[in-house]
Chain A
Amino acid sequence: MERSSPTPKSRASEIPIYEIPGGIHPEEHKLRSSQPEIKRLPLASEFIINLKGQAGNRSLPIVEVGDTVLKGQVIAECDGIFSAYQHAPTSGEVVAIEKRTIAHPSGLDDLCIVIKADGEDRWCELTPTHSLDDMDREAVLAQIFEKGVVGLGGASFPSHIKLKQHEGIHTLIINAAECEPYITCDDKLMQEHAKEVLLGAEIISKLYQDIDIVIGIEDNKPQAIDAIQQAREALKLSNIKLGVVPTKYPSGGEKQLIQLLTGKEVPHGKLPADLGLVMHNVGTCYAIQQALNEGKPLVERLVTLTGDSCNTPGNYWVPFGTPVNHLVQATKSETPKRLIMGGPMMGYQLPSADVGIVKATNCIIMAADGELGLDQTALPCIRCGACMDACPASLLPQQLFWHAQADEFDKAEEYDLFDCIECGACAYVCPSHIPLVQHYRYAKSTIRNKRVEKIKAEKARERYEARQERLERVKREKAERHRKAAEARKKAAQEAGKKDEKKAAVQAALARVQAKKKAQQAEGSDNSEPSSDKDNSDKNNSEGNN
């Protein structure tokens, strides 16, 4: 799998950096939000906590309408292991558990817990862990699990699942690349909380043995690099190395960062853990540190609020469930033309400003008119190959598009459609302005639906066949029963018939006896021969009848 050779040019990198194919250099727009200090906005009056706020299953609410809750109190439990606990982001009263619009491009409704803040923001009782050395692996994992920690890089994959496998892990990679334009929350977190981030990384590394820690960071974050280096010296952590990668989108993709830092590719269908690697985002490290050292559950995160319409761009601690509306108002922003959750490359346009932010929300772009100008007509693909040059997964986006557009899904799969990470680099460079990623998403979802349908159809067929078989069996059994009944009847009839024979014979015999008696009586009275002849013929007749 090693195919790229290290390039020594990367500035200040403490480990050799390898190359990735493709990649683009979009305008960064990072400066405006990376300059101001991290701040806190006034508390919203209402919090909308989406129970499907993480990858995996919807959490199950354990509060009822009317309950008063304290900040950090568990309000929803996880449903199975692939889910997460959710905690009250502030103190107040649960006013509703109902369907609300959620932060999802579809604009769908989903179950949310709505908390009316009392404005006091009172914490529940926190139980920090003082000595990690006394805790075994399971106990640390349990803490991380119960404090609702999920990956804060954007996918919000429950962290405890990622941390579960511990055999053969030799390197922890901290993803600090933050390659999306506009977003600076990880950058600022490292600048202002480098110690906490490193302590979090240490906690993770304690779950494994003799593990190296590599922080993968883009070279456009010199202040964060300095802050990490200083914190490392202050904390005397010698097992942490900085891997400074060239600024290029999408260096922060999990697979891309692994390739940049190790030169290895995660084999198709495998996980980074199969290469002995585990990757966590800087925000996740911070959250883990807070969960264990402070006992604080994950109730807020750093969110970059930016965009041309945003009047006070910067990074803010935002409690989960805070409505985006409130963020727009609190930053005294003009009414934005579009609201983008996430970065411009992989984020999505919010269907409504009334959605609560979730654990995955790293950025809200309040875009002014024309800022993210996209209303260009798509022209035909001229197969120029710009997309191919930009693709970090070495796919052929032009061929994928060709087949996706023609609904030739099997062909699209043959061109490794499902290896597309939807980074958007292809659509970014396309001179024909084709929304390529949209086509791939369409193809992927259609294929997935078809698979589901196929399974359904298969099951339906099995059910139908089972039913047919059952009906057949019932029919057979019925027929069998009838046959047996008929046989029984016949037998009975025969037996009845035999009885009649006997009866008849008996009667005949009786008749004969009586006839004899009569004859004897008649002989006795007038002794005439002819009458006995007559009796004999009668007897013969009756015998013949029988």
Chain B
Amino acid sequence: MALLSSPFAKKTNSVTQMMLWVVAATLPGLFVLMYFFGIGVLVNLIIACSTALFAEALILKLRNRPVLPILWDGSAFVTAWLLALALPPLLPWWMTVLGTAFAIVFAKHVYGGLGNNIFNPAMVGYVLLLISFPLEMTTWLPPQSLAENPVGVVDAISIILSGSASDEATVNMLKQGVDGYTMATPLDHIKTELAQGYRIPEAEASPIINGLSGVGWQWVNLAFLAGGLLLMFKKIIGWQIPIALLLGMGVISLPLFFVNSDHYLFPMFHGFAGATMLGAFFIATDPVTASTTIKGRWIFGLGIGIITVLIRTFGGYPDAIAFAVLLMNMAVPMIDYYTKPRTYGHNKRPTKDSKATRGGSDAQ
């Protein structure tokens, strides 16, 4: 549109730039993931991103939208990128394709495309896979240092694409850790142990647990934290949601921990386990589906933090960022409505005033 009206000056920022910054900020996390869990992470990324771009292009064509300019905004790419980062490294390729395509077609374009979707597309794709294939989705490779059979590049690609490794080693063999059992994430491990009647200190004796959370996982989370802080300082994301999310986890996990430290995890563990940092800085901050007001961002972040810890502690799934994000996505329109800032020169929000008068007339 040729602009005939002011302003004629424009900041040199764009959606594409923002998206590229998001991708760039995940790189430390990606490298750490690859270091600990092998090349499968990268293979997932490639599969997911190609699927997303193809699905986006196809559906834009079907909807008679300009394909290249919208593809260029980078949003589909970022959706796939973030989804792939959350997937287990040896997930069969078709699951990745299914999840990504579902995210783009259903979570995004059925609502009207970028800017109109209510739910975080990456998390919709993730949850679809999680509830359809719970076993595959919670089975992670052991960190390479703990693996009985470290996975080579060829093996990883072969497993993802065909389901079995080149030298006919079974997937389960590759997925085994030092104790010979198929590996799960530290959160999953703790959950299973608790279910079997162990106490947390006993569960934590496992070789998979060390330091802040678990082998590899603390570094993954630290790397995503670093990238997230970069985004925050570059003002690509607001700081309220990540901080509120972590705070939300703290306010719920700390009292639980003090009540019974045998049964409830130390807040720090929550903070550096699973997808916490990825979720806090990259997933929950998706501007389209997050609350848009400042106060709303606080509520949104706190909500995700609290729900995550509640599901991790009392629910059926080891990690819960995806569910928590989707649940809070649902609440966004209401949060936004009740957190309008006070406009210059106004005492109260006009809606409150009008509501007051409405209430008054009702009383009559």
Binding site for B on A (CB under 8 A): 1, 21, 24, 26-27, 105, 181, 255, 259, 265-270, 338, 340, 342, 344-349, 365, 367, 372-386, 388, 392-396, 398-399, 414-416, 419, 422, 424-425, 427-429, 431-433, 435, 437-438, 441
Closest to A386 in B: B13
Instruction: Assess whether A396 is in contact with B293, with CB atoms less than 8 Å apart.
Output: yes
For the complex, what is the distance from the CA of A205 to the CA of B354, rounded to whole Å?
41
Interface of B is mostly: loop
Instruction: Assess whether B116 is in contact with A380, with CB atoms less than 8 Å apart.
Output: yes
Closest to B341 in A: A394
For the complex, what is the distance from the CA of A76 to the CA of B23, rounded to whole Å?
64
Known pairs A265-B345, A346-B7, A414-B354. 4 more at Cβ < 8 A?
A: A349-B5, A373-B10, A382-B115, A431-B15
Residues of B within 8 A of A422 (CB): 6
Closest to A264 in B: B345
For the complex, what is the distance from the CA of A21 to the CA of B115, rounded to whole Å?
26
Across the A-B interface, the 7 shortest Cβ-Cβ residue pairs: A424-B7, A380-B115, A372-B8, A384-B287, A268-B345, A344-B8, A393-B344
For the complex, what is the distance from the CA of A178 to the CA of B340, rounded to whole Å?
31
Instruction: Assess whether B345 is in contact with A344, with CB atoms less than 8 Å apart.
Output: no
For the complex, what is the distance from the CA of A77 to the CA of B70, rounded to whole Å?
56
- Does B166 lie at the interface of the complex (its beta carbon under 8 Å from any beta carbon of A)? no
Residues of A within 8 A of B66 (CB): 377
Instruction: Assess whether B347 is in contact with A394, with CB atoms less than 8 Å apart.
Output: no
- Does B4 lie at the interface of the complex (its beta carbon under 8 Å from any beta carbon of A)? yes
Partner of B18, one of A181, A266, A431: A431
Instruction: Assess whether A416 is in contact with B346, with CB atoms less than 8 Å apart.
Output: yes
For the complex, what is the distance from the CA of A395 to the CA of B73, rounded to whole Å?
26
Task: Known contacts A374-B3, A379-B114, A437-B5; decide if A394 and B292 are in contact (CB<8 Å).
Answer: no
For the complex, what is the distance from the CA of A282 to the CA of B115, rounded to whole Å?
45
Instruction: Assess whether A432 is in contact with B15, with CB atoms less than 8 Å apart.
Output: yes
A520 vs chain B, min Cβ distance (A): 99
Instruction: Assess whether B115 is in contact with A394, with CB atoms less than 8 Å apart.
Output: no
- Does B351 lie at the interface of the complex (its beta carbon under 8 Å from any beta carbon of A)? yes
For the complex, what is the distance from the CA of A259 to the CA of B238, rounded to whole Å?
26
Residues of B within 8 A of A380 (CB): 113-116
Closest to B240 in A: A385
For the complex, what is the distance from the CA of A21 to the CA of B5, rounded to whole Å?
24
Residues of B within 8 A of A344 (CB): 6-9
Instruction: Assess whether B292 is in contact with A385, with CB atoms less than 8 Å apart.
Output: yes
Instruction: Assess whether B8 is in contact with A347, with CB atoms less than 8 Å apart.
Output: yes
Task: Known contacts A265-B345, A377-B1, A382-B287; decide if A398 and B69 are in contact (CB<8 Å).
Answer: no
Considering the complex, which residues of chain B in the window 103-154 have a beta carbon less than 8 Å from any beta carbon of chain A? Answer: 113-116
For the complex, what is the distance from the CA of A255 to the CA of B345, rounded to whole Å?
9
- Does B2 lie at the interface of the complex (its beta carbon under 8 Å from any beta carbon of A)? yes
Considering the complex, which residues of chain B in the window 1-44 have a beta carbon less than 8 Å from any beta carbon of chain A? Answer: 1-11, 13-15, 17-18
| Tally of contact residues, B, Cβ under 8 A | 44
Q: How many A-B residue pairs have CB under 8 A?
A: 155
Instruction: Assess whether A26 is in contact with B6, with CB atoms less than 8 Å apart.
Output: no
Of B2, B238, B341, the most chain A CB neighbours within 10 A belong to B341
B273 vs chain A, min Cβ distance (A): 29
- Does B350 lie at the interface of the complex (its beta carbon under 8 Å from any beta carbon of A)? yes
A409 vs chain B, min Cβ distance (A): 14
For the complex, what is the distance from the CA of A508 to the CA of B1, rounded to whole Å?
107
Task: Known contacts A381-B115, A414-B350; decide if A396 and B6 are in contact (CB<8 Å).
Answer: no
Closest to A181 in B: B9
25 contacts between A and B (CB under 8 A): A21-B344, A265-B345, A268-B345, A342-B6, A344-B9, A372-B8, A373-B10, A377-B66, A377-B69, A379-B114, A380-B115, A381-B115, A382-B287, A384-B18, A386-B13, A388-B293, A394-B344, A398-B292, A419-B346, A428-B7, A428-B11, A429-B13, A431-B15, A432-B14, A437-B7
Residues of A within 8 A of B9 (CB): 26-27, 181, 344-345, 372, 424, 428
A384 vs chain B, min Cβ distance (A): 4
For the complex, what is the distance from the CA of A414 to the CA of B354, rounded to whole Å?
10
Residues of A within 8 A of B290 (CB): 383
- Does B100 lie at the interface of the complex (its beta carbon under 8 Å from any beta carbon of A)? no
B96 vs chain A, min Cβ distance (A): 25
Instruction: Assess whether B18 is in contact with A427, with CB atoms less than 8 Å apart.
Output: no
Task: Known contacts A24-B11, A27-B9, A375-B2; decide if A395 and B114 are in contact (CB<8 Å).
Answer: no
For the complex, what is the distance from the CA of A118 to the CA of B78, rounded to whole Å?
68
For the complex, what is the distance from the CA of A399 to the CA of B291, rounded to whole Å?
11
Residues of A within 8 A of B351 (CB): 414
For the complex, what is the distance from the CA of A375 to the CA of B69, rounded to whole Å?
14
Residues of B within 8 A of A386 (CB): 13
Closest to B237 in A: A384
For the complex, what is the distance from the CA of A268 to the CA of B15, rounded to whole Å?
35
Considering the complex, which residues of chain B in the window 29-68 have a beta carbon less than 8 Å from any beta carbon of chain A? Answer: 66
Instruction: Assess whether B10 is in contact with A431, with CB atoms less than 8 Å apart.
Output: no
Considering the complex, which residues of chain B in the window 287-301 have a beta carbon less than 8 Å from any beta carbon of chain A? Answer: 287-288, 290, 292-294
Partner of A431, one of B5, B17, B116, B341: B17
A117 vs chain B, min Cβ distance (A): 32
- Does B260 lie at the interface of the complex (its beta carbon under 8 Å from any beta carbon of A)? no
Residues of A within 8 A of B238 (CB): 385
B18 vs chain A, min Cβ distance (A): 6
Instruction: Assess whether B15 is in contact with A428, with CB atoms less than 8 Å apart.
Output: no
Closest to B342 in A: A394
Closest to B289 in A: A383
For the complex, what is the distance from the CA of A94 to the CA of B14, rounded to whole Å?
53
A261 vs chain B, min Cβ distance (A): 15
Instruction: Assess whether A441 is in contact with B5, with CB atoms less than 8 Å apart.
Output: yes
- Does B336 lie at the interface of the complex (its beta carbon under 8 Å from any beta carbon of A)? yes
Instruction: Assess whether B287 is in contact with A346, with CB atoms less than 8 Å apart.
Output: no
For the complex, what is the distance from the CA of A213 to the CA of B203, rounded to whole Å?
73
For the complex, what is the distance from the CA of A113 to the CA of B5, rounded to whole Å?
28
Task: Known contacts A379-B114, A380-B114, A433-B14; decide if A267 and B347 are in contact (CB<8 Å).
Answer: yes
Task: Known contacts A372-B8, A374-B10, A378-B1; decide if A383 and B347 are in contact (CB<8 Å).
Answer: no
Residues of B within 8 A of A270 (CB): 345
Task: Known contacts A395-B343, A396-B293, A414-B351; decide if A348 and B5 are in contact (CB<8 Å).
Answer: yes
Partner of B6, one of A269, A378, A385, A424: A424
Residues of A within 8 A of B313 (CB): none
Of B6, B11, B114, B346, the most chain A CB neighbours within 10 A belong to B6
B341 vs chain A, min Cβ distance (A): 5
Residues of A within 8 A of B176 (CB): none
Residues of A within 8 A of B3 (CB): 374-375, 435, 438
Task: Known contacts A340-B8, A344-B6; decide if A379 and B293 are in contact (CB<8 Å).
Answer: no
Partner of B5, one of A24, A382, A388, A438: A438
B8 vs chain A, min Cβ distance (A): 4
Instruction: Assess whether B344 is in contact with A392, with CB atoms less than 8 Å apart.
Output: yes
